[in-house]
Structure 1
Amino acid sequence: MSIIIIAAIFIVGFILQIRLMQSPKTALLGNRIGAAFMGAAIIYTIIVYGGMGNSALWLWLVIGGFAGVSLGHVVKMIQMPQMVGMLNGFGGAASALVAIAGSSQFLGDASWYLWLTASLALSVGVLTFTGSMVAAMKLQGIISGKPVNLDESGKLKRILLLTAAGIVLVSTFITGIYSVWVVFLSIISAVYGVIMALRVGGADMPVVISLLNSFSGVAASITGFAVEDPLLVGVGAVVGVSGLILTRIMCRAMNRNLSAVLTGITTVSDSRRAENLLNVSNELEGFNEEKKGSMEIGDVINSAKSVIIVPGYGMAVAQAQGKVKDLIDCLEKAGKQVKIGIHPVAGRMPGHMNVLLAEVGIDYDKLYDMDTINPEFENTDLTIVVGACDVVNPSANTAKGSPIYGMPILEVEKSKNVIVCNLDEKPGYSGVENTLYSMKNVITIWGNASVTVPTITEACR
């Protein structure tokens, strides 16, 4: 009973951490509380399992701690989604290893319940590891971010599921094939994880990252059942549930169906529709260039009284957040009202963009989410887009069958004037042409945002 009470205290601490991290003002405190409780949970677990005198255990604890601190200092904020993906994978791998080690101890006299939970923990853990590694490599650009469907008919997936179910069923009652069971179940789960991540395109990657975060918690929780550890069960459940809630929020923000994302259905484009959009874009191009020729950036900026800035992942890649801060300071010094519109998937994971902007001292009070800022665009004199493409693409409302169709966007085209500072006119991760660029109230400035944004700052002085 005392173990359950202590586990409950730790779980309440982690829930408090999550609650505090919902607000930028208390997020740092929440992060520290979470780290403190996690450290205490590790020490408590070592004591309970009699590991205080195990020198090898302490050695690996020091090595792991040093690696974590080093990664925290070396990894840039722009690479944080990749790091989160890798950490999700490591969590899944750890759960799988604990499930194997724990189940091997009761080999021969285990109940069906312990065998089943160990099997599930191993499956989910390995799937999380391989899926997370593929997702991290996609985000890093090591492998293509385009969807790769290796199983269009779904036959391979069904075979894998049936085979895994058969192996789990047999291994539950026939303990003599323990090592074969572990190998086959690990291989099947690993392949399934790779297929799941490969078939998802870059535009949907934030959903996958949050889902794999949930999987890592679920794997830990199931492992807790397998080794009969209530603390691991509870903490894993907290991570799993919070990850699922975040996944649901991300799906709603992108108007996605989770099953469609994981099966790659949302990545099938309507080629005829895309062609029509391109033709419309070409027809408007001449008019747009004429409009641009008659518009001086300085005149547009200086005549604007209200300005909304929309940052995207391209800004993060260019490391231009400092330049955006200079622009904001200049605009406010000129007496203009400045707000920043943040799309839920402006970065590679939820909250990524908010942290990038906070790093350079941009006040959180200036940041507005999509639902709050969208009604204000039609009354805004000027919107400046910096490194954002899919999240401001009007095609999301018209291009049926495209990867972004139905995805809620920041409605920047409703502003009186729009300045776009993107690297080039190529499509974003979705591969859908951005019709915003050819609209008559839009000025496009192509190039690296760290170079182009200062030109706007100079024009407002």
Structure 2
Amino acid sequence: MIPTWAQLVYLGCAVAFILALKGLAGPRTARAGNLIGAGAAVVAVATPFFYLDLDHVPLILAAVAIGSVIGVVGARRVQMTQMPQMVALFNGVGGGAAALVALVELYEMGPHAEEVGWFTLAATAFTILVGSVSFSGSAVTFAKLQELMTSRPVVFPGLPVVFGLAGIAGIALGVLVVTDPGVSFGIPLALLGLLVGVLLVLPVGGADVPIVISLLNAFTGLTVAAGGYVLGNVVLLVAGTLVGASGTFLTLLMARAMGRSVSNILFGALRGGSTLGAGEASDRPVRSAGPEDVAILLGYAERVIIVPGYGLAVAQAQHTLRELVDVLLTRGARVDYAIHPVAGRMPGHMNVLLAEAQVPYDQLVEMDDINGEFKHTDVVLVVGANDVVNPAAKTTPGAPIYGMPILDVDEARQVVFLKRSMRPGFAGIENELLFDPRTTLLFGDAKDSLAKVLSAVKGL
């Protein structure tokens, strides 16, 4: 039985998690929100040491120390471009931990399991199954984003049948855990969950992988909430519910930003569709220019919009870009950054990247608010983005990104693309805007190209 004082502490931690989530909703309060959430997590983890008669305390402390070191080192070393992979790993570990805790609880119920209420047993089965799905699914998303395996949809004959049978078998084993509780059904349920997680993510490819990470994050939150119910722990129940709800909401928002349904993202490849195109570089002629030519376009423009993308993060060019924008502002130009909801690999990716370069937040304008500005813009500078400005989303039915809301860059008077090569974007299809007479391409590493353009603009 958890003492009253500990329950009050847990309740305080739960309130802190809610405040942390509220703080994370805005850039000015995000740091404080993060610290509040982290502090509450430390208090929640430490509290059981003061009211439980724990066995193997040295081993527990050793595990906490090792995990803390891995977490700190990993978080400090991870690159901005690798944030989605880190989210996938952390999310998978959370789901796997919840499944293991539920298995241990099922084992400790032993001969008294039949005395436990059916709802508690159902929550236990749910945690084992969905936690295992989240763990293996997150591992596959990590492998796809880290390019340890192909990012293309992976399908094989009979995959829908195998996936369907595995899902039905998982539900059947979950029912058996409730009617005849014991690890003899719990362990096969966990193994089946691992299989379902792999089969769920394999057919997903391209830019849809981050959306699946968000969905799996919601799964993990729900398993933690269910585990909190099984353990009678209010902080797990509240924290898991928050993660589950926010993950679900984020998944729906990302899917809407891609102009797709969640079912299409998960199962589109099984119906013969694909989230990736051919992925071949084009040999069609384009208009290219040097840094001096681009500097002239920018230096004498009155209205400039910057469209940042994943390539900006890869090149680590955000600081040079901010310097260029500062120079343009001193020359009297009006400059904004156009932020697509799924620019980069995760929502908020570009916001964090630009905040790292001390870009004022009021210069970042969301897609819905800036799309009407492009027709009045002298020059749009696209740095590392592709799919989010590809007109095929509006003009080419059957394209992987068709229906996705995009930034209306094609309406601007002049467009400058900074690109390494003519290789397509993450969706693997050509961008017709690259071949438009109003478009100029500046080839090379984005950081190096921006440095040359910056130098040339200063010399005007």
- Aligned mates of 1:99, 1:145 — CA distance in 2: 32
- Aligned mates of 1:141, 1:172 — CA distance in 2: 40
Q: Give how far 1:50 is off.
A: 3.2
Q: Give how far 1:292 is off.
A: 6.8
Q: What's 1:212 paired with?
A: 216
- Aligned mates of 2:452, 2:12 — CA distance in 1: 55
261-270 or 442-451: bigger deviation: 261-270
- Aligned mates of 1:36, 1:199 — CA distance in 2: 39
Q: Give how far 1:226 is off.
A: 2.2
Q: Write the mapping of 1:28-427 to structure 2, written as runs, cut at 5 A.
A: 28-51=31-54, 54-110=57-113, 111=116, 112-150=118-156, 154-175=160-181, 178-265=182-269, 268=273, 289=287, 296-427=293-424
- Aligned mates of 1:346, 1:369 — CA distance in 2: 11
Runs (4+) of structure 1 moved beyond 4 Å? 3-6
Q: Is the counterpart of residue 22 in structure 1 residue 22 in structure 2?
A: no
Contact 2:310 2:345 in 1 (8 A): yes
Q: Give how far 1:155 is off.
A: 1.1
Contact 2:107 2:183 in 1 (8 A): no
Q: What's 1:433 paired with?
A: 430
Secondary structure of the residue aligned to 1:87 is helix
Contact 1:51 1:57 in 2 (8 A): no
Q: Give how far 1:303 is off.
A: 2.5
Q: What's 1:456 paired with?
A: 453
- Aligned mates of 2:52, 2:71 — CA distance in 1: 24
TM-score where L is the length of structure 1: 0.91
Q: Is the counterpart of residue 445 in structure 1 residue 445 in structure 2?
A: no
Secondary structure of the residue aligned to 1:182 is helix
Secondary structure of the residue aligned to 2:382 is strand
Contact 1:314 1:423 in 2 (8 A): no
346-355 or 449-458: bigger deviation: 449-458
Unaligned runs of at least 5 residues, structure 2 = none
Secondary structure of the residue aligned to 1:83 is helix
Secondary structure of the residue aligned to 1:109 is helix
Contact 2:268 2:274 in 1 (8 A): no
- Aligned mates of 1:337, 1:153 — CA distance in 2: 53
* Paired residue type of 1:194: V
Q: Give how far 1:126 is off.
A: 0.9
Q: Give how far 1:418 is off.
A: 0.6
* Paired residue type of 2:104: A
**CA offset digits 1:135-180 (Å, max 9, x no partner):** 11111111111111246662112211121122222233334xx343
Contact 1:95 1:219 in 2 (8 A): yes
TM-score where L is the length of structure 2: 0.91
Aligned pair in 2 of structure 1 residues 269, 78: CA closer, same or farther (>3 Å)? closer
* Paired residue type of 1:393: N
Q: Give how far 1:182 is off.
A: 2.8
> Matched residue pairs, number?
448
- Aligned mates of 1:193, 1:152 — CA distance in 2: 17
- Aligned mates of 1:208, 1:165 — CA distance in 2: 22
Aligned pair in 2 of structure 1 residues 298, 168: CA closer, same or farther (>3 Å)? closer
* Paired residue type of 2:211: V
Contact 2:106 2:186 in 1 (8 A): no
Say what the alpha-carbon RMSD is for the aligned residues.
2.5
- Aligned mates of 1:267, 1:316 — CA distance in 2: 33
- Aligned mates of 2:183, 2:17 — CA distance in 1: 36
Q: Give how far 1:8 is off.
A: 3.3
Q: Give how far 1:4 is off.
A: 5.3
- Aligned mates of 1:296, 1:62 — CA distance in 2: 56
- Aligned mates of 1:315, 1:152 — CA distance in 2: 40
Aligned pair in 2 of structure 1 residues 328, 171: CA closer, same or farther (>3 Å)? same
Secondary structure of the residue aligned to 1:338 is strand
- Aligned mates of 2:346, 2:51 — CA distance in 1: 36
Contact 1:396 1:404 in 2 (8 A): yes
Q: Give how far 1:52 is off.
A: 9.0
Q: Give how far 1:296 is off.
A: 3.8
* Paired residue type of 1:268: G
Contact 1:325 1:360 in 2 (8 A): yes
Contact 2:307 2:382 in 1 (8 A): yes
Contact 1:318 1:448 in 2 (8 A): yes
Contact 1:267 1:403 in 2 (8 A): no
- Aligned mates of 1:248, 1:9 — CA distance in 2: 30
Contact 2:315 2:447 in 1 (8 A): yes
Contact 1:203 1:430 in 2 (8 A): yes
